[in-house]
Structure 1
Amino acid sequence: MRGPLLAFIAAAVPACGPMSVERAEEACFDRARLAAGPRGLVAMGAGSGGAQGKVALEISSDYLQGRDPAAIYETCVYRKSGLPPRRPLYDRPDWKG
């Protein structure tokens, strides 16, 4: 019984460590985008069942508190990977702020 339990623990322990800086940057990018402003979706349509509509709005507490998206990104990446981001948020080619 100890063998399988020890094998499980040994496999789980590395997953608890820091992730690569690349993965941390991707994981933190969405949080920084939400801190820059709300995102939303409005959809309308009509069919045989009549008119339909859908509204979705996503707002983060970071945005409501006026926090700097770049600071949130840097702190998040450092916390997840133990390293600073490879480039600042505003220098990323996919940043549209």
Structure 2
Amino acid sequence: MSRLALAALCALPILAACGPSLPPDPEEVAQYCEARARAATGPTGEARLGVNSNSGPSVGLSIGLSSDYIAGRDPLEVYNECVWQRTGAAPIRPPRL
């Protein structure tokens, strides 16, 4: 195989990645944006308590605050804007918060 043919063969996957991309799946976008809208409704958190025979007791706490919640944004506004940004179209359904 010549060097030119080998170079063309190696460049094929790179050139294929430059083609048109598929439009985003509206349902996947809705689910992602619903999660962002839920985060805008208030703080999220998790508490963990456990015991391990090797290390003994363990405790954990995590609290999450989204920037949308801190800014006081309406969760429905967050959802609608997120869908517009990801698809360029209006939401296909209202959010399931």
> TM-score, normalized by length of structure 1?
0.74
2:20 pairs with 14, 21, 27, which one? 14
Could you say which structure has the higher helix fraction? 1
CA-based RMSD of the aligned residues comes to 2.2
In the other structure, the counterpart of 1:29 is: 34
Deviations along 1:26-62, whole A, 9 cap, x unmatched? 2212111111111101122345544321001111011
Q: Please tell me whether Structure 1 or Structure 2 has the larger radius of gyration of its CA atoms.
A: 2
1:45 pairs with 38, 44, 50, which one? 50
Identity of matched residues, %: 37
Which residue identity does 1:34 align to in structure 2?
A: A
Count of residues in correspondence between the two structures: 90
> TM-score, normalized by length of structure 2?
0.74
What's the CA shift for 1:23? 1.9
What's the CA shift for 1:5? 2.4
In the other structure, the counterpart of 1:85 is: 91
